[in-house]
Amino acid sequence: MPMYEPQFRCRKNGVPILSHDEIDTDVEMFIRDFKPELLKKPGETDIEGFVEFYLGLTPEYNNLTHCGLILGRMVFNDNNKIPIYDPEAKKAEYIFARRGTVMIDNTLLEDEHRFRSTMGHEAGHWIYQQSYFYKDPFQMTLFSNIENTSTACRRFDIEGGECNEGGRKSLVSDHDWLEHQAKYFSAAILMPRAAMKIICGDEELRRRFQEAFPGGEEEMLASYVSDVFNVSVESAKIRIRQLGYGFEETVPTSTIFTIGYPSKVFSI
């Protein structure tokens, strides 16, 4: 099956220039290829199948740290310096991983929602950020830093963090932008915009929640979305507001991540 290849601009250093709307549109094109019925009949995205069989990546499971700080890694180059933790020896060590390996921390195997979110997050890194992380092996020198050819996604990067006074996370560094893009992609692939519109744009459903649960209607809508898409209630709340379906306030969906930089087109 030919894979959809999104087209987008990048800064000179490889950081993509994307809007939320562009990511949502790309996701819908991916789903049209992968499982188009999800766009008309909301349901759970088979994120493992999408990652392994559609994107052609290789999931591997290990202890990425001793304390579960790092939840996932996406490997962009063959790499013999992927750090893991050996609980028997009680020490860190390096292992080899091939390009296209998705490393998932073992702690997530017992937490389905966080597992699915992390898998989607790493897929977002792969789809959009190869121009940033991938290094041409024929141009690498003995002094090249191979450790910079894979991600190291912390719990904070995947599950959120501190926000500014306006309720949004401050995006300052390249790392901030890269993690934000991957996080938004994960939400979009697990809760596609078209499917969310069917549920959250249902005026009858919204009216029933408002009448039955005054003051708690958004919580009930999030719980319903959580059940349909097999995501956490907190993730559902964030996605509802991202797409403007909150009952009190909305968040614009077409925010440009990075603008005003020289760019190039890069596709996977």
Structure confidence by residue, pLDDT tens digits, 97-143: 999 999 999 999 999 999 999 999 999 999 999 999 998 877 765 44
- Cα distances from 78 to residues 74, 99, 129, in angstroms, run 11, 5, 16
Strand order in the sheet with 58-62: 58-62, 101-105, 70-74, 153-154
231 part of a folded domain: yes
Task: Specify burial of residue 189 (Cβ count, 10 A radius: 0-12, 13-18, 19+).
Answer: buried
14 part of a folded domain: yes
Q: pLDDT category, 159, cuts 50, 70, 90?
A: confident
- Cα distances from 195 to residues 61, 69, 229, 238, in angstroms, run 30, 32, 10, 15
3 part of a folded domain: no
Asked whether residue 238 carries a pLDDT value surpassing 80, the answer given is yes
Asked whether residue 243 carries a pLDDT value surpassing 70, the answer given is yes
Overall number of domains in the chain: 1
1 part of a folded domain: no
* Contacts with 108 (C-beta within 8 Å, 6 or more apart), sequence order: 71, 114, 115, 118
Average pLDDT over residues 177-198: 97
200 part of a folded domain: yes
Residue 141 CA to residue 150 CA, distance in Å, equals: 17
Q: Which domain holds residue 149?
A: 8-266
The pLDDT of residue 156 is 85
Asked whether residue 199 carries a pLDDT value surpassing 80, the answer given is yes
The pLDDT of residue 171 is 84
State pLDDT tens for residues 38-67.
999 999 999 999 999 999 999 999 999 999
227 part of a folded domain: yes
The pLDDT of residue 248 is 78
121 part of a folded domain: yes
pTM, full prediction: 0.88
Asked whether residue 184 carries a pLDDT value surpassing 80, the answer given is yes
- Cα distances from 187 to residues 54, 135, 144, 258, in angstroms, run 18, 28, 34, 20
DSSP 49-62: HIIIIIS--EEEEE
